Amino acid sequence: HPSNFQMEEGSNLRRANCRAKGGAPGFKVAILGAAGGIGQPLSLLLKMNPLVSVLHLYDVVNAPGVTADVSHMDTGAVVRGFLGQPQLESALTGMDLVVIPAGVPRKPGMTRDDLFNINAGIVRTLCEGIAKCCPNAIVNLISNPVNSTVPIAAEVFKKAGTYDPKRLLGVTMLDVVRANTFVAEVLGLDPREVDVPVVGGHAGVTILPLLSQVKPPCSFTTEETEYLTNRIQNGGTEVVEAKAGAGSATLSMAYAAAKFADACLRGLRGDAGIVECSFVASQVTELPFFASKVRLGRTGAEEIYQLGPLNEYERFGLEKAKKELEGSIQKGVSFIRK
């Protein structure tokens, strides 16, 4: 008798072929770090996404368990698990989108930059795999410090000769998700009706919510502006402290990552007008990377929008953000060039 595994692989193949023949829209997505605090709920959410036809779950631990579990969901995506470095290449081959939540999270008292020493090496290894096995995939980079890991990924891709800035996207969606929630609370609105652009980067003062550009149009008192800006910039720390040593945001992050991945997939499909904030190679400021609104299309971040009019408070915040960002970007670049 064939084993469960062989049976499942057989029927998975039949389903994958069947979808391919029917021409159903479907993309191949890999999650690297799929067994982690973010990776697990993110695997669940992407298994529920009708745009995903194949879902590869890679981790250095526990990937088989998460894969067996998620694969029992009666949604369309075919799920396959990959465990450890020797299986990285199989996990990546043929992927359209690679989402990376691999790496260690913060504990109370730590900044995102304190994670650099461990996560920089992890991101380098994973990106070398991407350059080799799926150089045309869109990459959604979640691992912190995003302000440095995105420049690291860019340098790895440059070295490999595969770098396309449009396809490398640092995930800052959680900052937008938090901003929408906190602003909606202050305004007494449903967060689904609120849109707050958040620009700059993804750490402390580099997280710059543009409260003067909130939709629907509204105004805030000085106290409200300061309260909201602080809360949005320190939302991650709020969760780290509440979890008291058990990690950082995982559930809201998985939600944000799933929302961002979905936007990327709709862009890949050719939907018009898909605009989200992301930390990307940019000419919006004098810095080589910056988060701002980008339009997602078939080739990734096809258009990067200017910041628009800023008020005095935001202009001051922008200068502070740029100062810190410059160092974080440089640190990432030197990690590969050294």
Q: Show which residues are catalytic.
A: 202
61 binds ligand NAI (CB under 6 A): yes
How far, in Å, CA of 225 to CA of 243, rounded? Answer: 27
As given in the structure block, the two tokens for residue 314 are 């935001």
30 binds ligand NAI (CB under 6 A): no
32 binds ligand NAI (CB under 6 A): yes
Contacting residue, 64, 135, 191, 247, with ligand NAI by CB under 6 A: 247
140 class by beta-carbon count within 10 Å (0-12 exposed, 13-18 middle, 19+ buried): buried
Binding mask 207-246 for ligand NAI (x = CB under 6 A): ----------------------------------------
**Residue 46: closest CA among 300, 269, 280, 256:** 256
317 binds ligand NAI (CB under 6 A): no
CA dihedral of residues 201, 197, 235, 122 (deg, nearest 10): -40
As given in the structure block, the two tokens for residue 255 are 């939600």
277 binds ligand NAI (CB under 6 A): no
The dihedral built from the CA positions of residue 125, 128, 129 and 130, taken in this order, carries a sign that is positive
Helices (H) and strands (E) in the chain, counts: 11, 11
Q: Closest distance between ligand NAI and the C-beta of residue 296, in Å?
A: 17
φ, ψ for residue 114 (rounded to 5)?
Answer: -60, -15
How far, in Å, CA of 227 to CA of 314, rounded? Answer: 14
Stretch that binds ligand NAI, among 6-14, 57-65, 210-218, 322-330 (CB under 6 A): 57-65
How far, in Å, CA of 113 to CA of 203, rounded? Answer: 8
Binding mask 161-180 for ligand NAI (x = CB under 6 A): ----------x--x------
Alpha carbon 242 to chain centroid, angstroms = 23
Strand partners, 169: 140
Stretch that binds ligand NAI, among 68-76, 186-194, 205-213, 249-257 (CB under 6 A): 249-257
Contacting residue, 51, 115, 133, 207, with ligand NAI by CB under 6 A: 115
278 binds ligand NAI (CB under 6 A): no
Q: Closest distance between ligand NAI and the C-beta of residue 243, in Å?
A: 9
253 binds ligand NAI (CB under 6 A): yes
If one counts every other C-beta atom within 10 angstroms of the C-beta of residue 212, the result is 18
Under a CB-based contact definition with an 8 Å cutoff, are residues 146 and 172 in contact? yes
Stretch that binds ligand NAI, among 117-125, 158-166, 189-197, 327-335 (CB under 6 A): 117-125
Stretch that binds ligand NAI, among 12-20, 99-107, 203-211, 322-330 (CB under 6 A): 99-107
Which CB, 65 or 165, lies closer to ligand NAI? Answer: 65
187 binds ligand NAI (CB under 6 A): no
Q: Closest distance between ligand NAI and the C-beta of residue 2, in Å?
A: 30
Asked if the peptide bond before residue 216 counts as cis, ω within 30 degrees of 0, the response is yes
Asked if the peptide bond before residue 165 counts as cis, ω within 30 degrees of 0, the response is no
Positions that interact with ligand NAI (CB under 6 A)? 32-33, 35-39, 59-61, 101-106, 115, 119, 122, 125-126, 142-144, 146, 171, 174, 202, 247-250, 253
